[in-house]
């Protein structure tokens, strides 16, 4: 008999979690203004809010923490971290920051001017925020394949070269860089092919525009290239990742994702002028150049995390778990962005809550229903997250409306996946009785989803 698939690790430390009653959850969600970001973690049974900073570190990472060098300048931990980044990416200049958005803040403070245009394949929310808050414009150039959630295509995170060229042509001299996000989080953790990375960069370079890779999940992207793209099946994840970076000019990184740490980020580039320019913003915003917002021990654990998570078995374990959950949803007929992405399942809420109009935020409504059902905390990646148009102040209903079931790395077992799937099935089975959604009672101007307050429409 062929042996079944199993995790490439065993568990050394556990953390208790607690179930709650429906009555408790009703009260807690009301107190949280129907915004799951406002819940306390003890009020959550299985937490799928994010895979950001929520992974389990390995014994080797915990050991590295103890060896952290906390010197203000010239810390050994910085050089170990920097050398790891250079070895994995080929970039020699490395600026540490406290997380990914801080890397964006430091780099964009140098690069983005009012009125600039920055194309990208579905900018991440903080990336978009850092562009728009500088009165510049983030233009989405993702392939249209991504919009059809039921279409099975291997690289739905890809850039549409046609859309990109149009933006580059119409805005010559006004595009400081292009952002290439891997995997493409916003459209469902969908990967970008090596061919598309190469062609995107060639096109940008033809117009004299550098490319910044938003690399939060670069290792998962490399895994999908190995599994799905011809010519890469025999390459290692490390070889594939290095080739991905070889086409672009710079990377920003949220190390809380594929770096396997709770906090951290960085910028890396071979462009000496960008390095010099960004350095000036690192010191006042983040800290001195050899710690930039991280402890020595964080950098030590990150160096180990980057190395571990660019090994095939680690990624294979993770992606298998996401696919295990996807298979359950298939069994129950629940529609999600196909095929399953790298770090999460993105449930297509508009197709589930067909009675709830767009204006009442179906994905946010489904997120609330799922929490009330069982204490599973998912996250809306939809119309609320999309924010309002900066010019018209209208809600942006043009994109997709997802509930993201985001799987932390090395944290839950497949039994937890069974509970998640069953909870969603119970909501799905009574979907026709859900006729009303939610209404916004308070919102921030930018990145409103974190703090928005909502009431349930009766």
Q: Check if 257 is active-site.
A: yes
Distance CA 7, CA 224 (A): 18
Q: Which is nearer to ligand PLP, 210 or 293 (CB)?
A: 293
> Total residues contacting ligand PLP (rule CB under 6 A)?
15
State yes or no: residue 126 binds ligand PLP (CB under 6 A): yes
Distances (CA, A) of 63 to 60, 69, 96, 309, 373: 5, 13, 21, 17, 40
Q: Which of 5, 72, 332, 450 is catalytic?
A: 72
Phi, psi for 304 (deg, rounded to 5): -70, -40
Least separation in angstroms between CB 292 and ligand PLP? 13
**Segment near ligand PLP (CB under 6 A); pick from 13-21, 119-127, 374-382, 437-445:** 119-127
CB 136 within 8 A of CB 390: no
Report residue 353 as tokens: 């809550």
Which residues ranging from 379 to 418 are in contact with ligand PLP (CB under 6 A)?
A: none
Q: Which of 124, 218, 247, 383 is in the footprint of ligand PLP by CB under 6 A?
A: 124
> For the purposes of burial, counting CB atoms within 10 Å of the CB of 384, is it exposed (0-12), middle (13-18) or buried (19 or more)?
buried
State yes or no: residue 52 binds ligand PLP (CB under 6 A): yes
Q: Check if 258 is active-site.
A: no
Report residue 171 as tokens: 């805005």
Distances (CA, A) of 155 to 33, 52, 234, 243, 259: 37, 23, 19, 17, 23
Least separation in angstroms between CB 342 and ligand PLP? 11
Query: Is the bond leading into 183 cis (omega within 30 degrees of zero)?
Result: yes
Per-residue binder mask for ligand PLP (CB under 6 A), 69-108, x = binder? ------------------------------xxx-------
Q: Check if 401 is active-site.
A: no
Q: Which residue has the tokens 């809550």?
A: 353
Residue in 241, 150, 126, 129 with CA at minimum distance from that of residue 192: 241
Q: Check if 125 is active-site.
A: yes
Q: Check if 300 is active-site.
A: no
Which residues ranging from 265 to 284 are in contact with ligand PLP (CB under 6 A)?
A: 265
Q: Check if 241 is active-site.
A: no
Report residue 29 as tokens: 């969600």
State yes or no: residue 346 binds ligand PLP (CB under 6 A): no
Closest chain position to ligand PLP (CB) = 100
Distance CA 435, CA 47 (A): 26
Q: Which of 43, 116, 158, 254 is in the footprint of ligand PLP by CB under 6 A?
A: 254
Q: What is the largest CA-CA distance in the chain?
A: 63
Instruction: Provide the β-strand partners of residue 362.
Output: none
CB 266 within 8 A of CB 255: yes
Distance CA 368, CA 371 (A): 5
Q: Check if 216 is active-site.
A: yes
Least separation in angstroms between CB 104 and ligand PLP? 7
**Segment near ligand PLP (CB under 6 A); pick from 111-119, 235-243, 254-262, 368-376:** 254-262
Name the packing angle between helices 414-429 and 362-374 (round to 10°): 120
**Segment near ligand PLP (CB under 6 A); pick from 136-144, 168-176, 251-259, 369-377:** 251-259
Least separation in angstroms between CB 27 and ligand PLP? 30
Per-residue binder mask for ligand PLP (CB under 6 A), 184-223, x = binder? -x----------------------------x-x-------
State yes or no: residue 262 binds ligand PLP (CB under 6 A): no
Q: Which residue has the tokens 């995170």?
A: 157
Q: Which is nearer to ligand PLP, 127 or 423 (CB)?
A: 127
State yes or no: residue 132 binds ligand PLP (CB under 6 A): no
Distance CA 380, CA 362 (A): 9
Q: Which of 125, 258, 348, 401 is catalytic?
A: 125
Catalytic machinery residues:
72, 124-125, 214, 216, 257, 449
Q: Which residues bind ligand PLP (CB under 6 A)?
A: 52, 99-101, 124, 126-127, 181, 185, 214, 216, 254, 256-257, 265
């Amino acid at each position: 008999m062929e042996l079944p698939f199993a995790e490439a690790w065993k568990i050394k430390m556990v953390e208790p979690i607690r179930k709650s009653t429906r009555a408790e959850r009703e009260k807690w969600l009301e107190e949280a203004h129907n915004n799951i970001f406002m819940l306390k973690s003890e009020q959550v049974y299985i937490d799928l809010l994010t895979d950001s900073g929520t992974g389990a570190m390995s014994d080797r990472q915990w050991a590295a923490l103890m060896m952290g060098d906390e010197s203000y300048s010239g810390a050994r931990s910085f050089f170990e971290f920097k050398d790891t980044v250079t070895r994995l990416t080929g970039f020699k200049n490395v600026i540490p920051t406290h997380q990914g958005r801080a890397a964006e803040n430091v780099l964009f403070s140098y690069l983005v001017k009012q009125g600039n245009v920055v194309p990208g394949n579905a900018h991440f929310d903080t990336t978009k925020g850092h562009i728009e808050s500088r009165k510049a414009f983030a233009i989405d150039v993702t392939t249209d394949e991504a919009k059809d959630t039921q279409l099975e295509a291997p690289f739905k995170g890809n850039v549409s070269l046609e859309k990109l060229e149009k933006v580059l042509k119409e805005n010559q001299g006004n595009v400081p860089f292009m952002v290439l996000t891997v995997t493409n989080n916003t459209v469902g953790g969908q990967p970008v092919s090596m061919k598309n990375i190469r062609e995107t960069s060639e096109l940008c370079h033809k117009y004299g525009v550098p490319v910044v890779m938003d690399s939060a999940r670069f290792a998962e992207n490399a895994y999908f290239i190995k599994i799905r793209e011809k010519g890469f099946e025999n390459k290692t994840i490390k070889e594939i990742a290095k080739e991905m970076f070889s086409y672009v000019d710079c990377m920003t990184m949220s190390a809380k994702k594929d770096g396997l740490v709770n906090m951290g980020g960085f910028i890396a580039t071979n462009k000496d002028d960008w390095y010099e320019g960004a350095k000036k913003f690192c010191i006042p915003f983040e800290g001195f150049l050899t710690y930039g917002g991280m402890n020595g021990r964080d950098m030590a654990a990150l160096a180990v995390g980057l190395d571990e998570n660019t090994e095939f078995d680690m990624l294979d374990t993770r992606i298998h778990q996401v696919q295990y959950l996807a298979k359950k949803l298939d069994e129950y007929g629940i529609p999600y962005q196909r095929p399953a992405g790298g770090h999460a399942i993105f449930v297509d809420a508009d197709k589930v809550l067909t009675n709830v109009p767009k204006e009442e935020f179906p994905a946010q409504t489904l997120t609330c229903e799922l929490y009330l059902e069982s204490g599973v905390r998912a996250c809306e990646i939809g119309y609320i997250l999309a924010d309002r148009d900066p010019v018209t102040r209208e809600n942006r209903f043009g994109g997709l409306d997802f509930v993201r079931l985001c799987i932390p790395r090395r944290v839950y077992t497949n039994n937890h996946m069974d509970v998640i799937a069953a909870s969603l099935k119970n909501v799905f089975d009574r979907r026709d009785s859900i006729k009303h959604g939610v209404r916004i009672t308070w919102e921030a101007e930018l990145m409103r989803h974190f703090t928005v307050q909502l009431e349930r429409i009766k």
